[in-house]
C-alpha cells in the first residue's frame, strides 16, 4: 500500500502559498545585480593583468594603505570592484534561500535539505585549499572559502526566524569591528585562527583574506531578502524586491556618508587622510569595514 509522505506544516516564516510557476519566472533585480558585478569583476581582473600601476594593497591589512598615493584612474578602477564580493556573497544567500525555502514549504525532509546545503558549501570551500592554492603556489583562503563555509553555517542558521537572522547579521556588520579590534591591531597579520574568523593573515606560505564571520553576516542578509521575495511572490507582502533594494541602498549610502564623515568607528582603522574624493571612498575590504 502506498502511503504519501506527510508534509510539514507551514510556519509564519514559510508562506503556505506557492506561485504556480516559481522556477521559470526570473527575478530581474537579482539578475541585474549579478550581471553588473560580473562586469565589474572583469574590469578589476583585466587591470590586474595589464596595468602595472593597478592598486591592490588598499585595505587596513596593508601597512602603507593609509599613506599610499591614490591616482584617480587606477584608484577608481579598483574601488568599483569593492562592490563585487559583498554582492556575490549577498546574492549567494538570496539564491540559496529561494531554493531551500521553497523545498521547506513543499515538505522536503529537513536532513535532505541540510545535506544538500552542506555538500554544496563543502565543495565550494575546498576549491581554495586545492585548485586555487595549487595555482597560487601557497595556501590561499579567499572568497570561495568564505562563501562555502558560510553556506554550511546556513544549514543550521536557516532555522532562525527572519527577524532573528536580520538582527544577527546587521548586528555583526555594525559592531563586528569591536570584536576584530580585540584580536588584531592593524596593519599586518593577526593570528591565523583570528584571520579565519574576523581578520587577515598573509605570508609567503599562506594568505587568508576573507574571514568567515563578516561574510556570513552578508549571506544572512541575502537569505532574509530571499525569504521576502518568496513572500512577495506568494502575495503575502506588497513590497517588491526592487523597492527593498532601493530603500536599503539609500539607507546604506546615508550610513556610508555619516560614518566616513565622522572618520572614526566603522572604517576598520582605515581613516580619511584628507577630504579628496579618493580618501572618502578609500574603504577597507580586507577585512571588510562597515563602510
Average pLDDT over residues 185-213: 95
C-alpha cell, 285 = 575590504
Q: What confidence score (pLDDT) does residue 13 get? A: 55
Q: In what order do the strands lie in the sheet with 139-141?
A: 139-141, 206-208, 201-202
| C-alpha to C-alpha distance for 174 and 234, rounded to whole angstroms | 32
Q: Is the pLDDT of residue 113 over 60?
A: yes
Omega of the bond prior to 6 within 30 degrees of 0, cis?
no
**DSSP code string of the chain:** ---PPPPPPP-TTS-S---SSTTT---HHHHHHHHHHHHHHHHHHHHHHH-TT-----STTSTTTTTS---HHHHHHHHGGGGHHHHHHHHHHHHHHHHHHHHHHTT--HHHHHHHHHHHHHHHHHTIIIIIHHHHTSEEE-HHHHHHHHHHHHHHHTTS-HHHHHHHHHHHHHHHHHHHHHH--SSS---HHHHHHTS-EE-SSEEE-S-HHHHHHHHHHHHHHHHHHHHHHTTS-S--HHHHHHHHHHHHHHHHHHHHHHTSTTSTT---SSSSHHHHH---TTTTP--
- Structure confidence at residue 92 as a pLDDT band (50, 70, 90): very high
Q: Is the pLDDT of residue 2 over 60?
A: no
Instruction: Note the pLDDT tens digit of each residue in 59-71.
Output: 999 988 888 888 9
Contact at 8 Å (CB) between 151 and 124? yes
173 or 19: which leads in pLDDT: 173
Omega of the bond prior to 265 within 30 degrees of 0, cis?
no
For the chain, what's the residue count?
A: 291
C-alpha cell, 71 = 591616482
Instruction: Note the pLDDT tens digit of each residue in 5-43.
Output: 444 444 445 554 444 444 446 788 788 889 999 999 998
Q: What confidence score (pLDDT) does residue 1 get? A: 45
Side-chain half-sphere CA neighbours of 10 within 13 A: 13
Percent of the chain residues past pLDDT 70, beyond the cut: 91
Q: What is the pTM of this model?
A: 0.88
108 or 20: which leads in pLDDT: 108
C-alpha cell, 224 = 532574509
Average pLDDT over residues 246-260: 96
Q: What confidence score (pLDDT) does residue 177 get? A: 97
Amino acid at each position: 500500500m502506498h502511503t504519501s509522505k506527510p508534509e510539514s506544516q507551514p510556519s509564519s516564516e514559510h508562506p503556505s502559498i506557492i506561485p504556480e510557476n516559481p522556477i521559470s519566472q526570473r527575478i530581474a533585480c537579482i539578475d541585474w545585480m549579478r550581471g553588473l558585478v560580473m562586469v565589474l569583476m572583469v574590469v578589476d581582473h583585466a587591470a590586474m593583468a595589464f596595468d602595472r600601476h593597478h592598486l591592490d594593497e588598499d585595505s587596513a591589512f596593508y601597512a602603507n594603505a593609509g599613506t599610499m598615493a591614490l591616482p584617480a584612474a587606477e584608484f577608481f578602477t579598483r574601488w568599483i570592484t569593492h562592490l563585487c564580493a559583498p554582492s556575490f556573497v549577498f546574492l549567494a544567500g538570496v539564491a540559496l534561500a529561494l531554493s531551500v525555502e521553497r523545498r521547506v514549504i513543499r515538505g522536503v525532509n529537513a536532513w535532505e535539505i541540510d545535506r544538500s546545503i552542506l555538500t554544496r558549501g563543502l565543495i565550494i570551500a575546498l576549491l581554495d585549499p586545492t585548485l586555487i592554492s595549487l595555482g597560487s603556489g601557497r595556501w590561499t583562503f579567499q572568497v570561495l572559502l568564505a562563501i562555502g563555509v558560510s553556506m554550511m553555517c546556513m544549514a543550521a542558521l536557516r532555522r532562525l526566524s527572519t527577524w532573528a537572522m536580520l538582527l544577527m547579521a546587521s548586528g555583526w556588520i555594525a559592531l563586528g569591528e569591536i570584536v576584530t579590534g580585540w584580536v588584531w591591531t592593524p596593519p599586518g597579520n593577526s593570528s591565523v585562527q583570528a584571520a579565519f574568523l574576523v581578520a587577515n593573515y598573509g605570508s609567503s606560505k599562506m594568505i587568508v583574506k576573507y574571514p568567515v564571520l563578516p561574510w556570513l553576516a552578508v549571506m544572512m542578509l541575502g537569505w532574509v531578502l530571499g525569504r521576502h521575495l518568496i513572500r512577495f511572490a506568494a502575495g503575502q507582502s506588497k513590497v517588491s524586491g526592487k523597492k527593498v533594494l532601493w530603500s536599503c541602498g539609500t539607507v546604506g549610502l546615508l550610513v556610508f556618508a555619516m560614518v566616513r564623515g565622522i572618520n572614526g568607528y566603522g572604517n576598520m582603522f582605515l581613516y580619511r587622510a584628507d577630504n579628496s574624493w579618493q580618501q572618502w571612498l578609500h574603504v577597507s575590504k580586507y577585512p571588510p569595514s562597515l563602510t
